[in-house]
Structure 1
Amino acid sequence: MQAAFAGFALGFSLILAIGAQNAFVLRQGLRRAHVLPVVLVCALSDAALIAAGVAGFGALTQAVPGLEFWMRVFGAVFLIWYGARTLRSAWRGGQVLVAGAEAQSLHSAVLTCLALTWLNPHVYLDTVVLLGAVSAQYEPRLAFALGAMTASFAFFFSLGFGARALAPLFSRPRAWQGLDLLVGLTMWAIAAKLLWGG
């Protein structure tokens, strides 16, 4: 039980900070567009990465020279493109979307979510390397992994479906414009950190 609680606490703390993936989930939740598939993609991806880390996959970044560098470059390029797209939406004045209105198809939403998840090197560093390393201190390691996976499911479902409580605020174009601006700048800041900050 102690291992499961430790896994939950560490897993939750690692995904709590606002990032590109969380900003996208929040946006989808506010739009009420494809929320279940998006949160499932995030949570299941995290679960797969946590399982890989606990199973010892974290050594791959050390075993393959240059892998981390190219992960950073590809992740940064994607974030720059997506950030520019979001900032363009903010420049155009934001969009008010009523419940059920969808700005993108399910296919597009899932692909964007997968890219924001799997092209982000910090996801690997947090879930695979860090959680994998810490899990070695606990027995059974499976309990630690299940705790961390539970944290991911709890967080993403709360973020995606809990965003509905903010819906009245986002009934105004200015609020959407502000959110788009925040999301776009967040993605560019993360891209800059990937390229120059390490």
Structure 2
Amino acid sequence: MTSGILPTALAGFGTGLSLIVAIGAQNAFVLRQGVRRQAVFAVVGICAASDAVLIALGVAGLGAVVTAYPDALTVVAVAGGAFLIGYGVLAARRALRPADASGLSTAGRTAGSVRTAVLTCLAMTWLNPHVYLDTVLLLGSVAADRGSLRWAFAFGAMGASVLWFTGLGYGARLLSATLARPAAWRVLDGLVAATMLVMGAMLLARAGSVAG
């Protein structure tokens, strides 16, 4: 059994990474915060810790509860969809207003801005039903197939989350020189806006189809 721990953990790492790296609202937000160098540690920590909690709950069997109450995911989808659309509209506004586009001039952000970033990250993470489907249901069910090694698989997936969000949040500052130009920052905000609006619309459409 001991000899199978490392291969199982690596399998969990690869599976978790394949789910996390997909372009989505959470990754777009972490990237933007990383470029702005604002509350990066808190945002990365929230994303990684949230994934760890959800993966652990999935391995512990919460997936069966989520499956038994699909209406709960519908409520989360509606709230998350509305939130993402609202955030997308704000990002689109920044992209269309050059005066607000340069996020690199905001190094001296107040505690209020950091608090806003933390609350936004929490909402973007926990109001996204895809998080529950990917971490709780999918990773939980795959880990269950590993039997007594399921927690090795889970820790591997958690490690992938930590590595990805740390690299994305702190690696984003390498783009600072490029995004020092307002036009480049507007492009980034435009991409963030498009991602948020599309994801939000998809969540609302899915919630409507399930409710109907």
Q: Moved runs in structure 1, 4+ residues, more than 4 A?
A: none
Contact 2:82-2:204 at 8 Å conserved across structures:
no
Shift of 1:37: 0.8
Among residues 99, 124, 130, which one is paired with 2:132 in the alignment? 124
Indicate whether 1:109 and 2:126 are aligned.
Answer: no
Q: Which runs of no fewer than 5 residues in structure 2 stay unpaired?
A: 1-5, 208-212
Corresponding position of 1:150: 159
Corresponding position of 2:74: 69
Q: Which moved more, 1:149-158 or 1:97-106?
A: 97-106
Among residues 37, 41, 44, which one is paired with 2:46 in the alignment? 41
Corresponding position of 1:160: 169
Indicate whether 1:187 and 2:192 are aligned.
Answer: no
The C-alpha deviation readout for 1:80-136, integer Å capped at 9, x for no partner, is 111111111111121241473438622111000000000000001000000000001
Shift of 1:4: 0.4
The whole-number CA distance in structure 2 between the counterparts of 1:65 and 1:133 is 17
Aligned-residue sequence identity (percent) comes to: 54
The C-alpha deviation readout for 1:134-191, integer Å capped at 9, x for no partner, is 0011141110110000000000000000011111100000111111111011011111
The whole-number CA distance in structure 2 between the counterparts of 1:8 and 1:81 is 33
The C-alpha deviation readout for 1:38-79, integer Å capped at 9, x for no partner, is 100100000000000010101122222411211111110110
Q: What is the identity, as a one-letter code, of the residue corresponding to 1:53?
A: G
TM-score by length of 2: 0.89
The whole-number CA distance in structure 2 between the counterparts of 1:196 and 1:150 is 33
The whole-number CA distance in structure 1 between the counterparts of 2:51 and 2:109 is 25
Corresponding position of 1:25: 30
Report the CA distance shift for 1:133/1:192 in structure 2 as closer, same or farther (over 3 A).
Answer: same
| RMSD, aligned CA | 1.5
The whole-number CA distance in structure 2 between the counterparts of 1:106 and 1:55 is 33
Q: What is the identity, as a one-letter code, of the residue corresponding to 2:84?
A: L
Q: What is the identity, as a one-letter code, of the residue corresponding to 1:110?
A: V
TM-score by length of 1: 0.95
Contact 1:31-1:101 at 8 Å conserved across structures:
no
Q: What is the identity, as a one-letter code, of the residue corresponding to 2:149?
A: P
Contact 1:30-1:167 at 8 Å conserved across structures:
yes
The whole-number CA distance in structure 1 between the counterparts of 2:141 and 2:14 is 15
